[in-house]
Structure 1
Amino acid sequence: MSETEAITLRRAEPTDATAAAHVFLRSFRAALPTVVRPRTDDEVLWYFREVLVPLQDTWVAVADGEIVGVMALDGRELSQLYLAPEWRGQGIGDRFITLAKSHSPTGLTLQTFQINTPAHHFYERHGFTPTKWTDGTENEEREPSVQYEWPPPH
């Protein structure tokens, strides 16, 4: 069995919120060190516990009993997809995207920061198309972003 096969994707439970938030925090710091987060770690933990896990279609990737990834869908929006830095490049993100597409077969939208070139390549490899570039005034971080859509609009 490969490492990817040993990883389970499952719906997040309330008890997963803290571990999922820590994956987000570690991933954000590793991938986006120059982006200033507008929320403290405690506020992020509260958001995962009180909003993300109970109110969105939130999934976690679990390896050896440890949460190593988190994905959340809010309707057609892929609102979160973060992996623990040491678990990147092992197919977990691919599995999350396949899952997201199966739950929203009519289409998905997402936002990522313009400086996050690896995310652009990842989403474009999965058939997402950039549809809107912003100057950052529309997000809390005030960081220029890109909206992606799948399938591409015709």
Structure 2
Amino acid sequence: MTRDDLLLRRAVDADAAEAAEVWLRSYTAALPGVVRAHDDDEVREWFQYIVVPERETWVAVAGSAVVGVLVLDDGWVDQLYLEPEWRGRGLGDRFVELAKERRPEGLELWTFEVNGPAQRFYERHGFAEAERTDGRSNEEREPDIRYVWRP
């Protein structure tokens, strides 16, 4: 299946469970050294009761499976997670294009300092580093970087 075989669409309540599983697998693969602040069941509940119903949540669907999730919250890319086997196949690019279309005035996001691949990805898409913190303000207590994109 290729990038062109993917459907990007707004998430519905029935997508919450699959979107949470994508998030869990992606986080584990991309951030193996970062201790999550919430266990698996708490993440699943967060997707079911907060993320999908209350935020602008998009999913990428390949066949009948959710393989990626993008969450926009006002001018923020709140979440962007892909099934590990879908990394490097253009799906993240499509999600960033969609986010920029939905928020043409600009976007911000946070990524952990240890996540070099994410930093390179966002910089390639025109995001610029705006701030670094020691992690005191995030639940994981992990140093992070705020990125900003302005058209």
TM-score of Structure 1 vs Structure 2, range by shorter chain: over 0.9
**Equivalent position SS for 2:3:** coil
Q: Percent identity?
A: 54
**Equivalent position SS for 1:48:** helix
Given the alignment of the two structures, is residue 64 of structure 1 paired with residue 66 of structure 2, yes or no?
A: no
Q: Give the residue type in structure 1 aligned to 2:79.
A: Q
* Structure 1 consecutive aligned stretches of length 4 or more whose deviation exceeds 2 Å: none
* 1:27 match: 26
Q: What is the RMSD of the two structures over their aligned residues, measured on CA atoms?
A: 0.9
Within a 5 Å distance, the mapping from 1:72-111 to structure 2 comes to: 72-111=71-110
Number of residue-to-residue matches in the alignment: 151
- The CA distance in 2 between the partners of 1:69 and 1:43, in whole Å, is 19
1:20-59 deviation line (CA, Å, top 9, x unaligned): 0000000000000000001010000000000000111000
Instruction: Report the Cα offset of residue 3 of structure 1.
Output: 0.6
- The CA distance in 2 between the partners of 1:151 and 1:33, in whole Å, is 31
* 1:9 match: 8
* 2:120 match: 121
- The CA distance in 1 between the partners of 2:137 and 2:111, in whole Å, is 12
**Equivalent position SS for 1:5:** helix
Q: Give the residue type in structure 1 aligned to 2:146.
A: Q
Instruction: Report the Cα offset of residue 151 of structure 1.
Output: 1.3
Q: Give the residue type in structure 2 aligned to 1:3.
A: T
**Equivalent position SS for 2:60:** strand
**Equivalent position SS for 1:37:** coil
Instruction: Report the Cα offset of residue 114 of structure 1.
Output: 0.3
**Equivalent position SS for 1:68:** strand
Instruction: Report the Cα offset of residue 10 of structure 1.
Output: 0.3
Instruction: Report the Cα offset of residue 64 of structure 1.
Output: 1.0
**Equivalent position SS for 1:133:** strand
Unmatched runs of 5 consecutive residues or more in structure 1: none
TM-score (norm 2): 0.98
- The CA distance in 2 between the partners of 1:65 and 1:122, in whole Å, is 27
Q: Give the residue type in structure 1 aligned to 2:67.
A: V
